[in-house]
Chains A and B, each alone.
Chain A
Amino acid sequence: MDLNFTEQQQEFQKEVRDFLDENLDTKVSEKVRNGISISKSESEDWHKKLNNKGWLAGPWPEEFGGQDWGVVEKFIFEEECGASGAPRIVPFGVGMLAPVLMKFGSDEQRKHWLPRMLKGEDWWCQGYSEPGSGSDLASLKTTAVKENDYYIVNGQKTWTTFAQHANMIFCLVRTSNEGKPQEGISFLLMDMNSPGIEVRPIITLDGSHEVNEIFFSDVKVPLENLVGEENKGWTYAKYLLTHERTGNANVAISKRKIKKLRKLASETKKNGTALVNDPLFASRLAQIEINLQNLEITNLRTLSSVESGEAPGAESSIIKILGSEIEQDIDNLTRKSLGKRAFINEPDAFSVGYNGPEIEPKAAATASGKYFNHRKKSIYAGSNEIQKNIISKMMLNL
């Protein structure tokens, strides 16, 4: 067994590191490290830099402008970005819709939409969940009815991340009520500026605005915006979801956060000694570190089997459960380690215009807010309960 990278992969790793050293704006990485949302333009700038290097869509085939990265290259790239505090590539276009278009879209759709993704001309969002359809996604009710050259769309989507930035949305809509619910779903691309679309913010418990509700009333969508065949959308959606769930290990991000927590705890005194030496705290920290080490190997084992040709199956569910829970554990312990300072909630402390009193350690400004915000990690992208259903069905045959 060899879990080391090849020489070529190691060179690639170095190249990524050098690139990040040179190109990552420290103001942006400070925000990322402290869990502050970056602005749309900061995101777009980062995408542009990556695209100039050819790395915005590294895993794409070369014919579409990618680098044909294998799973290991993709892993190396994401881990290095995570370790350095680089913003995540906004996944909806390049990471999620693109693979669907490549596999199921028309030539025209590929030629039109893929280059625009690379150039940053569209900001995509994902219209899946509805108020009555979360874990039971196939029960979705938003309808698309064919009328001459258009679909007329009516309904509502929810939990739509960054819809406030988006000019395009890919949506699951109901085009038939016959047969099983999965058999009447289609995959539509829509212009967010179409008449009849209204976006309303959903503020989360920590006070931030990431997700939205979207209302559709008699929205006209050209027929050519249907992806693949009518009523086959569920197949495409499932294909997309497996892409959404890979890359959820976040090992490098968790390692970076543990390192920061260890530093914080060594600079903090509890009853006269460093917190990091307090037996109860040390035990909590060590258990998370061990879990994370194990996850790192679990993740590499999965990658190595995918690399040798096995399709990623329910293993991505294992990784999603572990990755989300470990990150939540770190956020939890970070909050605990701050003691009474954890009461503070001043996310603006990282903005240029902040003129409130100084916060020391600065991490305290957002630590509790992040802890609460990151409860979403075990809920989104298929809740961890749904992941366990998948494991039960696919791996245990129960």
Chain B
Amino acid sequence: MDLKPSPERQILFDTLTKYFENEYKIADRNTAAHSELGYSKEAWERMRDLGILESLIDPELNGFGGTPLDISAVFEALGRGLVVEPFLETGLVSTKILGKGNENQKKLVADLLENIALPTFCHSENDTDYRKSYVKTKLVPDKEGNFLVTGKKVMIKNASGASHLIITCRSSGDYADEKGITIACIPSNRSGIDIKSFSSIDGGRVSDIHLENVAVLKTEIIGNDGKGFEIISEAIDFGILAICSEALGIMEKIKELTLDYLKTRKQFGVPIGKFQALQHRMAQLLVEIEQARSAVVNATINFFDSNERSSVISAAKFSIGKIGMLVAEESIQLHGGMGMTWEYDLGHYAKRLVLIDHEFGDEDFHLQKYIELQ
């Protein structure tokens, strides 16, 4: 049995980690994360030049990765770096969906690699209903055999800088049916699209997108009409695997910061790490983070097992949600006032870690889903 990452993936992870440590300063990241765009275009281009995007994309689409193992290794490194650039929504989920499309849509992946396109995934329609099949946005045919789309998408990350929107629509059936979901990919400047964006507490921007009779050409449909669920379901599962790995990277970084603080911060004449009450809490964090890693490993190695995937994905997302909040809260508490400041890195890691629970279904959602699957 060998559950260690392969040497190539270890090298990829180490290279990226070193790169972020040296070249991606958290203070600069924060400035970009809370700017009008929500991230740094310049940092995005530098990271693209490094080949991070290719490592998320299948070889048939000109990448050199794209497997669950690649994705997990890269996102753990992105988590450690607290990278706010849109690798998740654009680099991973969007390219997984576009890869199932026609030649034009596959070309968009190439354009993304060339830095001349920036598609993003617009799916959520309800703040608290995390079901993948929840799609109300209506797709109706017009006389020419094309379509019109009307509806609303909510809390979409990084939509304001996107060149293309990948929109899930309902062409038939009830709002939570798996059948009758159709995916469209259209330029973001098409008329009828109104994007309202907000500052996101973990960095970046989140947007509500109103779609009012937006024209969609029949060539802009991805896959078959009404058969989009399987495509988005797998892409979202990749997204969950990625965000869980990101959380793992964040937790490992938080563990290092907190351990360092326990060893250097002195009160009552000794490093506070000498107090047994704090030792036990730190030890508990280590125990929990090991469990979180195992949940991610389990989801990674069973990703293509069709009997297991939904269950291990929900188990991982539940574990990450529960453990992530504990790690965030405990690490702040162990730091005392220092953990509360903007200037110190920890708080920014903690914010992202907690908010990961609000993406792709929270711990309660995935616990219930896990129960249903047994």
Contacts and interface: CB of A to CB of B under 8 A. Distances in A.
Interface stretch (B5-13, B183-191, B303-311, B350-358): B350-358
B270 to A, nearest CB: 10
Contact of B362 (A139, A339, A356): A339
A280 B266 CA distance: 41
**Chain A: number of interface residues, binned into ranges:** 35 or more
Given A136-B268, A339-B130, A379-B337, A344 B362 contact: no
A311 B345 CA distance: 43
Main secondary structure of the interface of B (DSSP, over half): mixed
Contact of B333 (A281, A342, A378): A378
Contact of B198 (A136, A357, A388): A357
A346 B341 contact: no
A167 to B, nearest CB: 24
Contacts of A383: 333, 336
A241 interface: no
A340 B342 contact: no
A375 B340 contact: yes
B329 A375 contact: yes
Contacts of B350: 205, 372
B256 interface: no
Contacts of B198: 343-346, 356-357, 359
B358 A343 contact: yes
Interface in B32-57: none
A132 B268 CA distance: 10
Contacts of B110: none
B129 A271 contact: yes
A336 interface: yes
B336 A134 contact: yes
Contacts of A271: 129, 131
A332 B368 CA distance: 20
A369 B201 contact: yes
A179 interface: no
Most buried by A among B332, B347, B364: B364
Interface string A263-299: 0000011111001001011000000000000000000
Nearest to B325: A332
Contacts of A117: none
B96 interface: no
**Central interface residue in B127, B348, B351, by most chain A CB within 10 Å:** B127
A380 B333 CA distance: 10
A154 interface: no
B208 interface: yes
- Give the interface residue-count category, chain B: 35 or more
Interface string B66-84: 0000000000000000000
Contacts of B266: 132
A41 to B, nearest CB: 26
A338 interface: yes
Contact of A337 (B128, B208, B277, B355): B128
Given A134-B337, A280-B367, A368-B355, A343 B206 contact: yes
Contact of A344 (B176, B199, B336, B359): B199
Nearest to A268: B128
A344 B342 contact: no
B182 interface: no
A211 B338 CA distance: 12
Contact of B347 (A134, A339, A372): A372
B230 interface: no
A129 interface: yes
Contacts of B364: 278, 280-281, 336
Contact of A336 (B200, B339, B347, B362): B362
Nearest to A279: B368
A391 to B, nearest CB: 12
A270 B343 CA distance: 37
A196 interface: no
Contact of B337 (A158, A269, A272, A388): A158
Q: Pick from B154, B341, B342, B359 the residue with the most CB of A within 10 Å.
A: B342
Contacts of A281: 364
Interface string B120-136: 00001011111100000
B332 A375 contact: yes
A139 B155 CA distance: 48
Contacts of A243: none
Contact of A202 (B269, B277, B343): B343
A343 B128 contact: no
Contacts of B197: 357
Contacts of A375: 329, 332-333, 339-340
A214 to B, nearest CB: 14
Contact of B201 (A132, A268, A344): A344
A340 B155 contact: yes
Contact of A357 (B201, B208, B267, B343): B208
A149 B197 CA distance: 60
Contact of B128 (A139, A338, A357): A338
Interface in A233-266: none
A38 interface: no
14 contacts: A139-B267, A205-B340, A205-B341, A272-B129, A336-B357, A336-B362, A339-B362, A343-B200, A344-B201, A344-B206, A357-B197, A371-B354, A372-B347, A376-B337
Interface of A: 129, 132-136, 139, 158-159, 202-207, 211, 268-272, 275, 278, 280-281, 332, 335-346, 356-357, 359, 368-369, 371-373, 375-376, 378-380, 383-385, 388
Given A204-B340, A205-B347, 18 more contacts: A134-B267, A139-B267, A139-B269, A158-B337, A159-B337, A205-B351, A268-B128, A278-B364, A338-B127, A339-B129, A339-B130, A344-B198, A344-B201, A346-B198, A346-B199, A368-B354, A372-B350, A379-B336
